[in-house]
Structure 1
Amino acid sequence: MDEHLPEALRAVEDELAALLRRGRALSWEIAREVHPNLEPNAYGLLLWLRRSGSTRLTDLATRLGIGKGTLSRQIHGLEGLGLVRRDPDPDDRRAAQLSLTEEGTRRFDSARSVRLGQLRQALESWPDRDVEEFARLLRRFNDGAL
């Protein structure tokens, strides 16, 4: 590692690596709760679909920073599991609107409540203002991340 990096930057790198390791493990666990055949990276995709209600594939690909072909393959797999549906876009028949199915919403909400419970437990001793600041700083980091 570069000896010239400030200690605080090294600490951020260490903590981010630990967070990512734990996040990958948690993604496997949560994905299996949604559906036994669900890929772990699909949880984030389902989260965005749950938040948006309905979105175009191209808009979702842009938001997630992945290629349309990759996203289309992932969506196809989620459709096969009965979690996502693809409907024609009323404004552009060449495009599709993606959304969770009723079953997808039910399964996602159930798994998400477990995840939120784990977060609540991890942060229960924190003052509300610290949790709000943590969320703000994570958002700021993610907005500026490559």
Structure 2
Amino acid sequence: MYGGRLRRVCRHRRTPGALPTIPESSLPRIIQAIRTTPSHAGCRRSVRISMATRTACPCETLIRIGDMQEEELMQTVEEEFTAILLRARQMLIRRAKIIHPDLQDPGYRLLAVVIRDEAQQQGSLAEKLRLDKATISRLVQHLESLDLVTRTQDPSDGRAQLVSATDIAKEKWRSSGNTLRQELRRQLKEWEASELKNFGDLLHRLNHSFDEIL
């Protein structure tokens, strides 16, 4: 947080190379000294530092503190993001069970595609789900046995079939989605409007960044 600004101001590096180790017990005093030094002018040597930290320029020490804080923040983000992914997977499993007790994750993803994109050839499903055609064929057969999809002749290609969601599947998809949506809104109902907006903006930014690498 402070590192970029202080690097432009500070020209007081005494020796090249790595900074000396700073005892954590001394960090509060260093931060306070830097904050109370007027204008941070030339890393004023009027700042009093204990013998344990005298070899380090105060602003460089703060840069190190900033780097430590950034690493801790990144670690927190990674942990919370992993937790969200795990919870999202649990929610998808719950939704699949609401649709049908025997619906597993691969079949759920195939059903999601045919509901979202409507009737699809099996070759198209294989490309979108990144699965081989034999696996897609087995999934379609399984979903047919659950009365969730049906196959019909493709009018534009007599050699191919179209996989479509049944009316039962569409209705269960809508009802299961409404159930999870209500639960999510119940969890967020205490949030302020500004918090929801910021959360939505950050999620949009995160999703957009993934678009560039996936």
Select 1:20's aligned residue among 85, 90, 99: 85
1:103 aligns with 2:168: yes
**Residues 92 and 113 (structure 1 numbering): CA distance in 2 closer, same or farther, change over 3 Å?**
same
1:143 aligns with 2:208: no
Select 2:94's aligned residue among 29, 33, 37: 29
- Output the CA distance in 2 between the equivalents of 1:72 and 1:116: 32
**Residues 37 and 73 (structure 1 numbering): CA distance in 2 closer, same or farther, change over 3 Å?**
same
**Residues 70 and 50 (structure 1 numbering): CA distance in 2 closer, same or farther, change over 3 Å?**
same
> 1:31 is aligned with what amino acid?
A
Deviations 1:34-84 (A, max 9, x none): 011111343333222211122222222222222222222212111110001
Deviations 1:90-137 (A, max 9, x none): 112222211111111112111111122223333442636345425523
Instruction: Give the structure-1-normalised TM-score.
Output: 0.77
1:91 aligns with 2:159: no
4+ residue segments displaced more than 6 Å? none
Q: Greater CA deviation, 58-67 or 76-85?
A: 58-67
Structure 2 SS opposite 1:33: helix
Instruction: Give the structure-2-normalised TM-score.
Output: 0.56
**Residues 21 and 132 (structure 1 numbering): CA distance in 2 closer, same or farther, change over 3 Å?**
closer
| Structure 2 gap segments, 5+ residues each | 1-69
- Output the CA distance in 1 between the equivalents of 2:207 and 2:124: 20
1:68 aligns with 2:136: no
Q: CA deviation at 1:138?
A: 5.0
1:79 aligns with 2:144: yes
Identity of aligned residues (%): 30
**Residues 107 and 59 (structure 1 numbering): CA distance in 2 closer, same or farther, change over 3 Å?**
same
| Structure 1 gap segments, 5+ residues each | 1-5
If asked which structure has higher relative contact order (CA below 8 Å, sep 6+), I would say 1
- Output the CA distance in 2 between the equivalents of 1:141 and 1:66: 25
